[in-house]
Amino acid sequence: MNSIQHIFNKKENNLLSIFFTAGFPKLEDTTKVIAKLSNSGVDFIEVGLPYSDPLADGPTIQHSSGVALRNGMNLDVVFEQLSSIKETNKTPLVVMGYLNQIIKYGEDKFCQKVKDCGIDTVIIPDLPMVEYENHYQQLFEKYGITNVFLITPHTSEERIRKVDSLTKAFIYVVASASITGVKGEVSEEQIAYFKRIQAMNLQSKLIVGFGISDNKTFTTACEYMNGAIIGSAFINSLQKGKEIKTFINSVVNK
């Protein structure tokens, strides 16, 4: 059982995950942000690996990646930072990156570094399922790593059920067929999509991402799914220098 499954054993609903980019706003901020998020009661934290061509990310997260890269962030630095808090951090971490980063860094080296940081869950949005089944599933299992798959409003039922059969942590339910970013209220079309997924009675836990930004969108998402991930809105808050705990409290309405 991985760290994310342990969370669901303690809390099945209204889970809040926060995404941020490692090395943003400043290179040394990675561990500081994690500590403050952990102290704010976030259920798990998604650490983004800065990348020059993040295909799933909107302008806010792209900007944060660019800043982090200019700050000098790379995989060696982020793994060193994450390893330094392995014994003190109590909130599960998920690493989010892209397939080219893994290939360029070295597949086994990447997996070993993830494991050495005490992390057991990754999100690789551009990893094709066929590649996962033919190669990466065995590789990840060798290092005790679980992969999180994404589904969108256009994902077929057949594929969703295949994802469900391969899932050990949670399914990332992309709220809209677009890139990340703050998009306002949850639409009726999105609610119909959530209800359709809910009616499939999948075995996996469901976490919504893309466009979740505040208490209203978080609460609405949690009516249909087990929880939600907030990224762009949090990064905007970070950039403005707002207190992390204040932002989290505003989302969970404390």
- Catalytic residue list: 46, 57
Cis status, amide bond into 25, omega within 30 of 0? yes
Nearest-angstrom CA–CA distance, 72 and 145:
27
- Using a 10 angstrom Cβ sphere, with 0-12 exposed, 13-18 middle and 19 or more buried, the burial of residue 138 is exposed
- Give the CA dihedral 245, 91, 18, 174, nearest 10 degrees: -150
Nearest-angstrom CA–CA distance, 176 and 49:
23
What residues pair up with 229 in beta bridges, in sequence order?
17
Structure tokens at 94: 């998920």
